[in-house]
A and B are shown apart, each in its own frame.
Chain A
Amino acid sequence: MRKRLLIVLAVVLATLAWAAPGFAGGLSPSSKTLGANGLAVPRCDTNAVGVTQNLTAANVVSVTISNIDAACANGTLRVTVNNGTTTSSGSGTVPAGGGSLTVTITSIAQQHADEVDFAISGP
């Protein structure tokens, strides 16, 4: 009986050890806090930015993000356009001083309600 308890205990510990980093890896990008410590994920831009889809014919070929706070300088900006059928992404580096950045994406048909998501990681 004692043997079984020890074996079960070992299995439980091993499972927990495997699961702990899994939980951390599965955090949603929208999470604002992490774990019991409630660490806030800081943002380099908290007000508003400008977004412009640039077209060639009826296709979105790039996206311009403007009014980026200077605190985001040198951060990596990733843009994804979802037109409801397909998605297209691109990335670039926020210039020194923030401001504006145009990110080229693979041409995607413009639809009347495109979803344009973008994230700035860093600096």
Chain B
Amino acid sequence: MASRRSRGSGSRIRGGRWPVPWLIAAAVTMSASVAFAASLPLASQNLTVYRTCYLWPTSGTDTAEYDSYVSQQNGTTNYGTSASLSVATQNNKNMRTYLRFDLTLCSPALPTTASAIKQATLRLYASAVPTSCRTYDIFAVTASWTETGITWNNQPFGTAINNPASSQRTSYITIGTPGGCQNTAAGWVNGWDVTVDVRNFASGAGTNYGWMIRDDVEGNSSAISTTFASQEDTTSPSRKPPLIITYQT
């Protein structure tokens, strides 16, 4: 009986106790550890993570960004190396600004899933604001252009004023000293929301030819304009145009 109990219980090994207590302890420990892991209080703790690609040229020759403006008054003149960008409305003297950023410089690469890109904002630094509140529309450009080649006469959207229609804009800002305008003083404008366009560029649904900014109503009887710092601005490196893309990981 004693022999059967000894063999049956397996309680001895080489003159010592079988590791039954050890087995129990190990099992209890494992069970407790798994329970702890499963009960981590993540459900009660917020964790909000965002990643941002901050495209911001560091010099006038930086390939992260290209910009220029075009002037109806000087239809064949290129302003690609100008230290400023202009948007203006005036009969036969309208001005538009073109910008393009190299999204492939983002590291890690932008997600191709559109919904993962939460916000994309293009900002400009205004050296002064007009005395009347103006609406500046931004449009995704649909054909290629170069910084040192673009002019009023060869711009992708053609020479007709108020084209494309305001209804085709991606977004807009208002700028001017009157109260109620979004941007009433010189400095950084709140920025154009270009999230939809960047989603299209990143996903491949659209080609990145950049953006064009124009006054919502071109051809005004008197001159109303705003000047922004360009990539070539040397006043301060912090005034060059940035594109800020925030997305979730």
Contacts and interface: CB of A to CB of B under 8 A. Distances in A.
A40 B105 CA distance: 32
Contacts of A50: 119, 121, 244
A95 to B, nearest CB: 15
A41 B43 CA distance: 6
B223 interface: no
B30 interface: yes
A47 interface: yes
Interface in B212-249: 237-238, 242, 244, 246, 249
A51 B56 CA distance: 13
Contacts of B19: 6-7, 10
A35 to B, nearest CB: 6
Contacts of A116: 51-54
A86 interface: no
Of listed B19, B36, B49, B242, residue having the most chain A CB within 10 A: B49
A39 B37 CA distance: 12
A115 to B, nearest CB: 6
A105 to B, nearest CB: 13
A3 B13 CA distance: 8
A2 B12 CA distance: 11
Contacts of B37: 20-21, 23-24, 35
Contact of B53 (A9, A44, A113): A113
B54 A41 contact: no
Contacts of B162: none
B64 A6 contact: no
Contacts of A53: 54, 56, 242
Interface stretch (B21-29, B80-88, B129-137, B153-161): B21-29
Contact of B46 (A7, A20, A44): A44
A49 to B, nearest CB: 7
A67 B38 CA distance: 34
B58 A30 contact: no
A51 B52 contact: yes
A45 B48 contact: yes
Contact of A6 (B10, B56, B244): B10
B190 to A, nearest CB: 9
B33 interface: yes
B38 A35 contact: yes
A38 B185 CA distance: 50
A108 to B, nearest CB: 12
Nearest to B36: A21
A33 B48 CA distance: 14
B34 interface: yes
Contacts of A46: 48
A52 to B, nearest CB: 8
A49 B237 CA distance: 24
Given A13-B26, A13-B30, A30-B249, A115 B47 contact: no
10 contacts: A20-B33, A35-B37, A41-B42, A44-B48, A75-B46, A116-B51, A117-B49, A118-B49, A120-B46, A121-B48
Interface of A: 2-3, 6-7, 9-10, 13-14, 16-18, 20-21, 23-24, 29-30, 34-35, 37, 39-55, 57-58, 71-72, 75, 84, 110-123
Given A14-B30, A113-B105, A117-B50, 4 more contacts: A3-B18, A40-B43, A48-B246, A51-B50
